[in-house]
A and B are shown apart, each in its own frame.
Chain A
Amino acid sequence: MGNILEIIGAVLVLLGSVFLFLGALGLVRMPDLYNRIQAGTKASTLGTFLTLFGLLLIIPEWWGKLVLLMIFILITNPVSSHVLARAAHYIKIPLTEKTVADLLDKEETTYKVNEEIKNE
C-alpha cells in the first residue's frame, strides 16, 4: 500500500515540475511583462501545489506543514503578481504590439509617479 502511494506521489511531483518548467518557458516566450506575469503566476501555483501534494503522499507525517505552505502560496501568489502588474502599469511599461485594448488610463497618477521616480 505504501509503495503505491509513493509511486503516485512521485508522479505528482514530476507533473508539478513539468508545470513549473512550462511556466519558465512562458517567461521566455511571452512578448511583454504583463503576459510574462500571467505565465509565471499560473504555472507556478499549480506546479507548486502538485509538488507539495506529491510530497504529502510520499511523507504523510509532514501534512500540517505542507498544507500550511499551500495556503500561504495561495494567498501570496496572486497578490504579488497583481502588485507587480499595477506598478508596471503606473510607470507606463509598454504593452506588446499585439495588444487589442487598454482601458486602464490614468494620466494624472501615472504622471505623478513618473515625477517621483525622476526626482530620485
Chain B
Amino acid sequence: MKIKNITALFLILLSIWILLNNQFQIEVMIIGVILSFVISIIMGSRITVFNELKFSLGSVFYTIWYLFVFLAELVKSNLDVARRVLTPSLPINPGIIKTKTVLKSKMGRMILANSITLTPGTLTVDIEDDILYIHCIDVCCEDIDKATAAIVNKFEKILVKIYG
C-alpha cells in the first residue's frame, strides 16, 4: 500500500517538474528525480488518496476515454449556459435535487462530483455517503431514480470500470 502511494506521488511530482521546466537536460532531470523522490518518501505515508488507484491497462484506457467524454460534456454545458444567459427571458428552472451513486471509493466519488459540477447546469452542493445533492439550473425531475439516470449515469458507468 505504501509503495503504491510513494510511486504515484513520485510520478505526479516528476511530471509536474518536467512540465514546469520544459527541457530535458540531464542535470535538470537528475534534480527533479532527487527532489520528487525525497518529497514522496516523506509525504508518502500520510497521503491516502492514491490507496484506491489501480495500475492496469484497462484503467488507463478508460481514464483517457473518460477525459474525452468529459470534454464533450464540458463544451455542451458551456453552450447551454451561454444560451440561457443570452436569452432575454432568462429560461431557468432551478432547484436542488437528490441523486444516488453506486461508487464506493472516495476518489471515484470525488471525480464524479467534480465532473457533475462542470457539466450542463448542474452543481454538486453536498455529498452524504452515496447521496449527492445537486443544484440544477433546469430541474428535469424530482424523483431520485430519474434524476440519477439523467445526470449521474453517463459518468458513473465509466468510473465504475476505473475505480470499481
Contact = CB atoms under 8 A, between A and B. Distances in A.
B63 interface: no
Contacts of A25: 85-86
A41 B139 CA distance: 18
Contact of B22 (A30, A41, A61): A61
Interface residues of B, number: 37
Contact of A64 (B19, B95, B135, B137): B19
A117 B18 CA distance: 45
Interface in B81-139: 81-82, 85-86, 90, 92-98, 113-115, 117-118, 121, 123-126, 133, 135, 137, 139
Interface residues of A, number: 45
Interface stretch (B35-43, B70-78, B155-163): B70-78
B142 interface: yes
A42 B118 contact: yes
B47 interface: no
Contacts of B74: 42, 45-46, 49
30 contacts: A19-B78, A19-B82, A22-B81, A22-B82, A30-B92, A34-B125, A38-B135, A39-B81, A41-B123, A42-B118, A43-B81, A45-B74, A46-B74, A63-B22, A64-B19, A74-B118, A75-B114, A78-B113, A81-B123, A82-B113, A82-B124, A89-B126, A99-B96, A100-B94, A100-B139, A100-B142, A102-B95, A103-B98, A103-B142, A104-B98
Given A22-B81, A26-B85, A82-B123, 5 more contacts: A31-B92, A38-B81, A45-B78, A64-B19, A104-B98
